[in-house]
A and B are shown apart, each in its own frame.
Chain A
Amino acid sequence: SQTIHQWPATLVQPVGSPLSLECTVEGTSNPNLYWYRQAAGRGLQLLFYSVGIGQISSEVPQNLSASRPQDRQFILSSKKLLLSDSGFYLCAWNPRGRNTDTQYFGPGTRLTVL
């Protein structure tokens, strides 16, 4: 069966510090991978998605970047965090190809920028 991991689970970082969040998927190959941000009490905002190694698409302009160095690894980064980067970050995956079913979410990382 497929599983998705995210770490760390929680993170407190000062403004201006760098960020690296990691997501890995097990039990599947060539997945589509996604990064979402969820602000407190709000819905899910798609930040990045990737259909393959080194292929990253960004949905919104922002202070963050994403990379996919391996097929089942997706990394969310920032060089200098802003207060507004605080939130709950979710990684998700789904099988590649048309007419595939829903996205499956990881456990999330709670980021607090102070």
Chain B
Amino acid sequence: QQQVKQSPQSLIVQKGGISIINCAYENTAFDYFPWYQQFPGKGPALLIAIRPDVSEKKEGRFTISFNKSAKQFSLHIMDSQPGDSATYFCAAWDLGYNNNDMRFGAGTRLTVKP
């Protein structure tokens, strides 16, 4: 069942621009929200993650914004680079209940044009 909705499906950004990917979840019990980056032919790799006790987390050019009341979170990539071109997945996890049940969004294919 689709519990995490991700948009857009694809995104094209110019080099130096800001890439924004959005996710919305349904289950209020989710308490861990990671973002994964996947290059073609490779497995997803953890990029950045946030817990709902904070509204924003920044690591380098990557920032997660989290809105608990709206049940939404987003990934912002500042100063986007061609090397950022990849597919990005958001996910949501209820750590306190069942740590075998991470729900993934459908993915966003990001293309950064030079």
CA distance A22 to B45 in the complex (A): 20
Contact at B102–A103, with CB atoms within 8 Å?
yes
- Chain A 42-71 interface mask (CB, 8 Å, partner B; 1/0): 111010010100000100000000000000
Known: A41-B109, A42-B107, A43-B105. A90 touches B100 (CB 8 A): no
Residue of A nearest to B31 (CB): A99
Q: Which B residues are CB-close (under 8 A) to A6?
A: 43
In the assembled complex, A74 has its CB within 8 A of some CB on chain B: no
Interface residue from B46, B96, B101, B105 paired with A102 (Cβ < 8 Å): B46
* Complex interface: chain B residues within 8 A of A107 (CB): 42-43
Q: What is the chain B residue whose CB lies nearest that of A106?
A: B43
Do B99 and A98 touch (CB < 8 A)?
yes
B20 within 8 Å of A by Cβ? Answer: no
Partner of B46, one of A34, A46, A97, A104: A104
Are B44 and A90 in contact (CB-based, < 8 A)? yes
| Contact between A32 and B42, CB atoms less than 8 A apart | no
Q: Can you identify 13 A-B contacts, CB atoms within 8 angstroms?
A: A34-B100, A42-B106, A43-B6, A43-B105, A49-B100, A90-B44, A99-B95, A99-B96, A102-B34, A102-B46, A104-B46, A107-B43, A108-B42
Other A-B pairs, 12, CB within 8 Å; known A99-B95, A107-B42: A32-B99, A43-B104, A44-B44, A49-B100, A51-B100, A90-B43, A90-B44, A92-B43, A102-B32, A102-B49, A102-B102, A105-B45
B contact set with A: CB distance below 8 Å? 6, 32, 34, 36, 41-46, 49, 89, 91, 93, 95-96, 99-102, 104-107, 109
